[in-house]
Structure formats: structure tokens, C-alpha cells
Homo-oligomer: A and B are copies of this chain.
């Protein structure tokens, strides 16, 4: 189920997709060093294509590289997450601004249909992954209305790098019964877009993302406290 999309024979692409998924979900712990030989063995390839895939992930900010020491998982910090959400707000709001000027009515209608279609699942879903995909997908589709592949690429990169904390944020929202809040934020943005009301649309989108930014940053901050404070309860 997870291994289908990259063409049957393309080792580097396969490794890249697999490693990106692992890195996005912090299956490597923050700042952990990666053992190339073990990883290559586990993924069924040699170190040569593995390192090519790893280099791509370094360029995309999923991994770090230190000469002579190899590849490391990226660090996880409240500041880093804050900056990623801030960049995300910048890109999404800019894309929305362009979309308000230029998106076709039909494309906007498609997005509205998507929101209607997923509304039920959004509220009732108990699957965190499904929830995450739906949230991400709404924002990706919104961004795509601008018709600028640069926006899409930057957003896809950021989405991968915040995926882990976003899923934590979503779990917390679900636990506190606040999923509807997110959904209504999406709907508010969409309505302003339909009305071609730039100030209302970008304002609503920015407020939504900044709220998620603060929640996600706080969640990481608390996790940090857990990691660095308690010598006591471990094991």
C-alpha cells in the first residue's frame, strides 16, 4: 500500500520516497546519526544510490550533513517549527492573493466541492493519518489555485518538515473536540475566496495558520521540557 507510485525500477526514487517518509515522521530521532550500511541493507540497495537519495534530503532540509561524519536527522526545536509555520503562512497567503486575482471559477468550485465532500469524514474520522492528509490536502489545493509551481514546491517541502508536529497538533485538537474549529476556518477562507475578498481571505488564512503555529510550537516546547527536565521517570 505504501510502495506503488514511483516507477517500478528506479532505486534512487524509491529510496528517496521511503527516506523522506521516514524523516518526515521522525522515524529517525532528532539529530540521530544515520548508519549508511545498515540503512542500505534494510532498504535493499547499496550505499551508492542510498547516498544520492540522502543528498537530496539534505538539500531539502530533512536531513543534515556534516563532512566526515555523515548524515543526521534534522534537529527538532520550537524555534525551527515556528519558522517553518511562518514561512508556510507567507507562501499560502501569497498564493491565496494570486488565486483571488486569477483562479478560474471552476477551480474554486472544485475546492468547495472537495471541502463539502470531506466534511463528514473530517469531523468523524478517528484515523489521525486520514485527518492529517485531509488538512494538508485542503491547503495544497488552495495553494495550487495560484498556478505557480514554485509555491507548490515550497509548500510541499514545508508540509513534509512539519508533518510530525502537525499530526501531534491534530491529535490534540481531536482530543479536545476542536476539529470543527479547523474546519470552519477552512470554510471561512473559502467563502472569502469565492467572494474575491482579498483582505478577508488572507486575514482568515493567516490567523488560522498562526494559531496552528502557536499550538505546534508550544507542543514542541512541552516535549522539550519532557526531554531535558526529567531524569526521574525514564525506563
Which residues from chain A sit less than 8 Å from chain B, CB to CB?
7, 10, 12-13, 48, 51-53, 55-61, 67, 83-84, 86-87, 89-91, 93-95, 98, 148-151, 153-154, 158
Contacts and interface: CB of A to CB of B under 8 A. Distances in A.
Contact of A60 (B59, B84, B93, B158): B59
- Report the copy number of this chain in the oligomer: 2
Nearest to A97: B90
A87 B154 contact: yes
Given A52-B52, A55-B55, A86 B10 contact: no
Given A90-B91, A91-B90, A94-B94, A149 B83 contact: yes
In the complex, which of the residues A83, A86, A87, A148 has the most CB atoms of chain B within 10 Å of its own CB atom?
A: A87
A50 to B, nearest CB: 11
A7 B67 CA distance: 9
Nearest to A13: B67
A210 to B, nearest CB: 12
A53 B154 CA distance: 21
Contact of A67 (B10, B51, B151): B10
Contacts of A154: 87, 154
In the complex, which of the residues A12, A90, A91, A151 has the most CB atoms of chain B within 10 Å of its own CB atom?
A: A90
Given A83-B148, A93-B94, 14 more contacts: A10-B67, A13-B67, A48-B48, A51-B52, A52-B55, A55-B55, A55-B56, A55-B59, A59-B60, A83-B151, A87-B148, A87-B154, A90-B90, A90-B151
Contacts of A61: 153
A51 B83 CA distance: 31
